[in-house]
Amino acid sequence: MKKRWIGMMMLVAFVAVSQANTVTWDNGGSDQYFYTAANWIGDANPVSGVDSVVLDADAVGLNKPAILTGTDSFVIGNGLSMTSIVESNLSFRVELKLESSSVLTLSTGGELAIGVMQVRGPANELVFESGASADFYNFLIGDGTVVKFVADATSVTTVNVRNNLDISKYGDSGNLEVDLSNYDAANGHTLVLFDYNSLVGDQVFASVTLTEDWTADIDHAYDQGGGDLAVALVNIQYGAIADATSFSPAGGIAIELRESAAQVMGSVDVAYAAATDVDISFAVSQETHSGSFSVVNTSPQTLATVFSDMLTVDVEFDNTIAGLWLGQTATGMVTLTWSEQGSGITTDVLIPVSASALDLPVVWDNGGADILFANPENWEGGIAPVSGNDDVAMNGDAGGANQGDAFLKSEFMIGAGKSMTSIATPKDSEDLKLSSNGAFTLATGGTLDIGLLGRANSGSVNMSIVFEAGASANVYEYVAGLNTTTKFVANSAGVTALNISDELTLDKYGRGDLEVDLASYSIANGSILILMDYGSIATAGTNTFATVTLTAGWSATVDYAYDQGGGDLAVALILPGGEPSAYEIWTRGYGLTGDDALPKTDVESDGLDNLMEYALGGNPLNDDASVVSPATFMADDGVTDYFYYVYDQRTDDSGLTFTLGTETDLTGTTSWDTNDVFQVGESVEAGGFKTVTNRTAVSSGAKFIELRVGK
């Protein structure tokens, strides 16, 4: 029903307001600007928020509206009004115009009742606070102007337009803003903004902006009943969950499982906000593997009114139904139906779900009645890891801090390319303990990175922990002790050093044993092997292995506080001789031991002993004297004949000496003349050797030349 505005009503209103300081427009100035004092009776501007205003668009000429312009602003405060002096039914008569960034605010308790309101310009703003009264004959909006409504808990101020509402008067449509920050949607999901007689053309607002987290539809032809039309916000609700971006994770539920797993859970968080209680229900559809997905949440259920919260949707995937193989994927869709009580508003949220069979680690969850490593109930999915084949993720905090350590009472290997890692943070939990007959092996190419590794209770027997070369081994704490053998298996280059970030214990319930397999090791790669690099060692000085066993034919000592530099201590295996000499490295590289490794030994009987072979670049195992021995020839320089003597000389061992001498008679006591032979040239060093050229003058009798190598 339209409000009728009659002269008598306005006359009474005028008289009442005039007693509260009313300023009347007379257009007496040289312009039409609202804040030109000469345009008001008494030549005094109205004060914003203090004075009531009476406008006369016909003052001093027809259609002379007051103009708010520039950065002008005016507030019609509580109990104040802006009214027209006469009733005007002429659409061309404008009482008030807003232009060029001006702002007019109708406050709660205020009244705005004029003939024609004109608002144009992209920076203009006309604000209607709730609990006010607004009435126009025509309302002309456009050119990017903002019209803003501020709601209270129950309603907004509805603008009554008795004739035409034109929201695209000047080409571009106006913009609508609605502040719903104080609104309670329990009071309804529809707010009437403009009650009009006629909406010019098929006009719509260029944009509709609501308070953050609120959603609504704008209906420019909302029927209030009997064809009484209005511009209204409909389907108002706080929060919108029907948006994929409200998921966490954003893509929905993506379940990853091992090929052998049976039932696996996945979940997604859905952000929501509700101004009323809501009923929710779930349904699964579009499954590629029928019946494999199911929603665990109770359905239906009711969520109480809340302005911001998170709903967790849990979905179970049953691979005993789907039968996925490695690399296969099942997909489906979970529909979350959201119904606001009392409003009839229903929203469907579509949540994609998928399950993929991947090469994933087996995860310890301590779900069984014991803490045995081999018990399938202690692993996610109910399947224990397979030795040598599976990656393993330990969780020493499963079932409570330091209560989830697994007891290994059988053999288990981390194979090449596989890993055993800890998912506890920090990694100070007791992840893997060996009990009687427990045997753990970290194979070449495997990775170990867990909290504690070591023996369990005092009564355990026959336990072993093996570290093969070429692996990666990191633990927070290592505990060996009675009836526990720690074994390192070397390759030609060395061993896998166990990195212990915290404490090393070797005498738990008594001292354990050490074995080092050096069968494949080449001493040329060093005489010091780091076995354990630790942060600290329990009871230093007495915390040692009871026995140390090496491969037959090898001997060594164990240094339990070997300083790697800067006080970085380790358990190290020191092979005989400490740091071997370059000559020792050379002989060991050829596998020479005992007498065969002595400098004067000629293993292959080619006339060159080991030291000469070493100095000249020979092979002590090959008959290569004809190749390695010095070369000789005769030449003259045009005056003198010379005998030349050329050989390769090792340059990477500063302990070697090379001496040349000549002798004319070998039948008696020899006296080698080192001053009769001279070096006349040498090549550039390459690969640890250089070629040296020497000569001696040819005499009429016999002359012999000799090269002696010393060390």
* Predicted confidence (pLDDT) at residue 2 exceeds the cutoff of 60: no
Q: When comparing pLDDT for 156 and 538, which is higher? A: 156
Mean pLDDT of 140-153: 91
* Predicted confidence (pLDDT) at residue 16 exceeds the cutoff of 70: no
pLDDT at 343: 62
Q: Is 630-710 in the same CATH topology as 244-358? A: yes
* Predicted confidence (pLDDT) at residue 90 exceeds the cutoff of 60: no
- Beta strand ranges found along 469-590 (DSSP E): 472-481, 484-489, 498-508, 513-517, 528-537, 547-550, 557-563, 569-574
pLDDT at 239: 59
Residue 627 sits at φ, ψ, to 5 deg, of -95, -40
pLDDT at 307: 53
User: What is the Cα–Cα distance from 382 to 252, expressed in whole angstroms?
Assistant: 25
Q: Give the model's confidence band at 10: pLDDT under 50 very low, under 70 low, under 90 confident, else very high.
A: very low
Q: Give the model's confidence band at 321: pLDDT under 50 very low, under 70 low, under 90 confident, else very high.
A: very high
Q: Give the model's confidence band at 87: pLDDT under 50 very low, under 70 low, under 90 confident, else very high.
A: low
Mean pLDDT of 427-448: 88
DSSP string, 250-302: TT-EEEEEETT--EEEEEEEEEEEESS-EEEEEEEE--SSTT-EEE-S-SSEE
Q: When comparing pLDDT for 184 and 502, which is higher? A: 502
User: What is the Cα–Cα distance from 260 to 326, expressed in whole angstroms?
Assistant: 9
Q: Where are the domains of the chain?
A: 7-237, 244-358, 366-574, 630-710
pLDDT at 1: 39
Mean pLDDT of 251-279: 81
Counting Cβ atoms within 10 Å, is residue 500 exposed (0-12), middle (13-18) or buried (19+)? Answer: buried
Torsion, Cα of 180, 183, 186, 190 (10° steps)? -50
Mean pLDDT of 477-496: 93
- The CATH code that applies to domain 244-358 is 2.60.40.2310
Q: What digits encode the pLDDT tens for the residues 363-415?
A: 888 888 888 999 998 888 788 898 998 899 988 677 654 456 889 999 999 99
Q: What digits encode the pLDDT tens for the residues 451-472?
A: 889 886 778 899 999 999 999 9
Assess contact for 293 and 329: CB atoms under 8 A: no
DSSP string, 165-184: EESSTTSSPPEEEEE-TT--
Mean pLDDT of 219-231: 93
Q: What digits encode the pLDDT tens for the residues 538-582?
A: 875 678 999 999 988 788 999 999 888 888 899 999 987 545 678
* Predicted confidence (pLDDT) at residue 274 exceeds the cutoff of 70: no
Average pLDDT over the chain, rounded to an integer: 85
What the block records as the tokens of 297 is 């949440």
* Predicted confidence (pLDDT) at residue 157 exceeds the cutoff of 90: yes
Mean pLDDT of 62-76: 83
Nearest to 318 by CA among 367, 257, 375: 257
Least confident of 258-262, 446-450, 494-498, 511-515: 258-262
Q: Give the model's confidence band at 275: pLDDT under 50 very low, under 70 low, under 90 confident, else very high.
A: low
* Predicted confidence (pLDDT) at residue 4 exceeds the cutoff of 60: no
pLDDT at 401: 45
* Predicted confidence (pLDDT) at residue 166 exceeds the cutoff of 60: yes
Mean pLDDT of 593-617: 92
Torsion, Cα of 108, 111, 112, 114 (10° steps)? 170
Q: When comparing pLDDT for 297 and 196, which is higher? A: 196
What the block records as the tokens of 12 is 């009474």
pLDDT at 399: 65
- Write down the architecture of domain 630-710 according to CATH: Sandwich (2.60)
